[in-house]
Amino acid sequence: MTSKSEGDVSLKTYLGLFRRYLGPQWQKATFMALLLLLGIGLQLVVPQILRYFIDTAQAGGATSLLMRAALIYLAVAVVNQLLGAGATYYGADVGWTATNYMRRDLAEHCLKLDMSFHTARNSGEMIERIDGDVTALSDFFSQFSVRLIGASLLLIGILILLWLETPLAGAGLSVFTVLVLLFLVRTRKIAVPSTVLEREASAQHFGFIEERLAGLEDIRANGGGEHAMRRFILSMRRYYQDTRRAWLMRSFIWISSFGLFSIGDVMTLAIATYLVIQGKISLGTAYLVFQYMLMLRAPIEQITRQLQELQKAAASIGRIGALFETSSSLSEPKGLSLTSGAQAISFENVSFSYDDKAILKNLSFQLQPGKVLGLLGRTGSGKTTITRLLFRLYDPNSGVVRLNGTDVKEALASELHLRVGMVTQEVQLFHASVRDNLTFFDPTIPDEKILELLSDLGLSTWLGTLSEGLDTVLEGGSAGLSAGEAQLLAFARVFLKDPGLVILDEPSSRLDPATEKQLERAIQKLLNGRTAIIIAHRLSTVERADEIMILEDGKVIEHDRREKLASDPASRFYRLLRAGNLDLDERMVTGV
């Protein structure tokens, strides 16, 4: 896999993201910009109204003139608030729409990556990468460019009006503004590295929480609560320290600008007081100059905040960009179709390693269409790896895996998923309706077919207990279902998919005898007319197998017809059958 450096974000990257996610919303973004610009214009008018009010009052002007100025001031203030509220609303709409599209693209990209990417990361970390980093970009997407441009225009407008009112104040505050902006530009990237660490610490912390929640039953059963809490405290401490460091670095700009503004306030008061004493400006104009100085703080602080958002965005964009540019180690398929019906399997000199640990070593075997293969071997012998290569969750380091003569690396992913089905011990159900759980959200499968299948599997009574039938929403993770019901639903999924190759990873190992018999009938029906691989942890599971293959240390040590091996005293399978009721892994270890 390859990825770009996190935190190293170029202008091209920013522009690319803007075009990709804000381009489709240009109408909303334009309207938002118009509201902000109108608000800027009104902000420039307000001090002029106040100057007129003060000078008129000091000169003893008519009360009607003062009332008119006050009413205009109030009207402008109300309209300005409405414009600000409208800009905020459209900004949030634009930002969340853009980031939701980004979440979708990130999730889709990660789903296309091979299993080595996912096994190296826990789900908590991935949630933080896909949701947490993207959430940090919401304000950046919605308002960064508009607010930065708006603040710049307001800044320029204030300085122009100051020059027109009194060149001395205009010159002094122009120099002050340039110095402040130069300082901000030079310190713009100071918080990026620490913010990258903050986002990474957040991902690691949520990953830690997810792992402990997933293993809560084992932790409580084995008295590991105290150890888990110590680890949790250490994780929280690391998260706090990295977050605090990032906050302090980002706050450096704000604290520095606060000090500079204090100097600016003193300078402006001094200039205004001097000009009033010299009789060069009126009291109202002096107030106007000071008011513009106070207003000058707003766009500079806005620019500062947007630069801080840019710092946070740079960290998140760097991590998101690294995720987008992470490529799968699986080669692009040529898009070949797989023929329907029972699949022929061929492994030709296949070798595969996990992190330089050899799992399969130059393995070769064939299985004819419609045959059932019982796959035996102790833990770590390579049984599960064979099934993962058939699904193309990984590609072999060398050799070829074929289905009906087609290299699986050249087959369309959709074709491969359609032709190969799998039932495991652990059944994953979604928080969705029974119908969607069985069809994997395919609306084209008619209810009649689903109901007929559930009846064949003996689930009609169970379905009848559900208040809304197929529309009943199931809890995620098989909650609320017995192990047998969950397994039978997994079989129903595969039946609806109608694959030519079925892989069974000892689906009945955790069931009671009565439920197991019900499941055995489902297995018999499922295997009819299909090629099958049964990964066995109990020898009774492979009684229906046509062939037996035994793996050891990534190699085939025995492969032949089940009847032949069962009657050959010299075969390993024969000795396994004679070993009594020992667990299959134990029999393998003892070498019987």
Shared domain for 132 and 232, answered yes or no, is yes
The per-residue pLDDT for 189 is 60
Assigned domain for 353 exists:
no
Shared domain for 379 and 253, answered yes or no, is no
What distance in Å separates the CA atoms of residue 103 and residue 141, rounded to the nearest whole number? 13
Please provide the distance, in angstroms rounded to a whole number, between the alpha carbons at the two ends of the chain.
43
Q: Are strands 531-535 and 547-552 parallel, antiparallel or unpaired?
A: unpaired
Shared domain for 270 and 376, answered yes or no, is no
The per-residue pLDDT for 510 is 57
The per-residue pLDDT for 55 is 85
Shared domain for 378 and 234, answered yes or no, is no
Note whether 482 and 401 are within 8 A (CB): no
- CB within 8 A of 225, min separation 6: which ones? 219
Note whether 442 and 498 are within 8 A (CB): no
Q: Half-sphere exposure of 354 toward its Cβ, with a 13 Å CA cutoff?
A: 18
Shared domain for 15 and 153, answered yes or no, is yes
Shared domain for 298 and 424, answered yes or no, is no
Paired tokens of 459: 């689930």
Whole-model pTM?
0.64
Shared domain for 378 and 290, answered yes or no, is no
Assigned domain for 156 exists:
yes
Q: What tens-digit pLDDT sequence spans the chain (592 residues)?
A: 444 444 455 667 777 777 888 788 888 888 888 888 888 888 888 888 888 888 888 888 888 888 998 999 899 989 988 988 888 888 788 888 888 888 899 888 888 887 878 877 777 778 777 887 888 777 677 667 677 777 888 888 888 988 888 888 888 888 888 888 777 766 666 656 666 677 677 777 777 787 777 777 677 766 777 877 888 888 888 888 888 877 777 677 667 777 777 887 888 888 888 888 888 888 888 888 888 888 887 788 777 777 767 766 777 788 888 888 888 877 777 777 788 889 999 999 999 998 778 999 999 999 999 999 999 988 888 898 998 899 888 899 999 999 999 999 988 888 888 899 888 877 788 888 999 989 988 888 999 999 988 888 888 888 888 889 999 988 765 556 777 788 888 888 888 888 999 998 876 655 666 667 777 777 788 888 899 999 887 777 788 899 999 999 899 999 999 999 999 999 999 888 887 544 555 555 445 5
Assigned domain for 350 exists:
no
Assigned domain for 21 exists:
yes
440: left (phi over 0), alpha (psi -120 to 50) or beta: left
**Number of domains within the chain:** 2
Shared domain for 320 and 374, answered yes or no, is no
User: In CATH, what number is assigned to the domain containing residue 52?
Assistant: 1.20.1560.10
Note whether 67 and 36 are within 8 A (CB): no
Assigned domain for 58 exists:
yes
Domain enclosing residue 542, as ranges:
370-384+419-429+475-590
The per-residue pLDDT for 485 is 81
DSSP per residue, 384-449? HHHHHHHHTSS--SEEEEEETTEEGGGB-HHHHHHHEEEE-SS----SSBHHHHHHTS-TTS-HHH
Assigned domain for 468 exists:
no
Nearest to 94 by CA among 148, 144, 60: 144
Assigned domain for 209 exists:
yes
What distance in Å separates the CA atoms of residue 520 and residue 194, rounded to the nearest whole number? 58
What distance in Å separates the CA atoms of residue 22 and residue 14, rounded to the nearest whole number? 11
Shared domain for 287 and 158, answered yes or no, is yes
Shared domain for 64 and 213, answered yes or no, is yes
The per-residue pLDDT for 7 is 47
Assigned domain for 393 exists:
no
Shared domain for 295 and 423, answered yes or no, is no
User: In CATH, what number is assigned to the domain containing residue 519?
Assistant: 3.40.50.300
What distance in Å separates the CA atoms of residue 343 and residue 337, rounded to the nearest whole number? 13
Shared domain for 74 and 182, answered yes or no, is yes
DSSP per residue, 226-237? HHHHHHHHHHHH
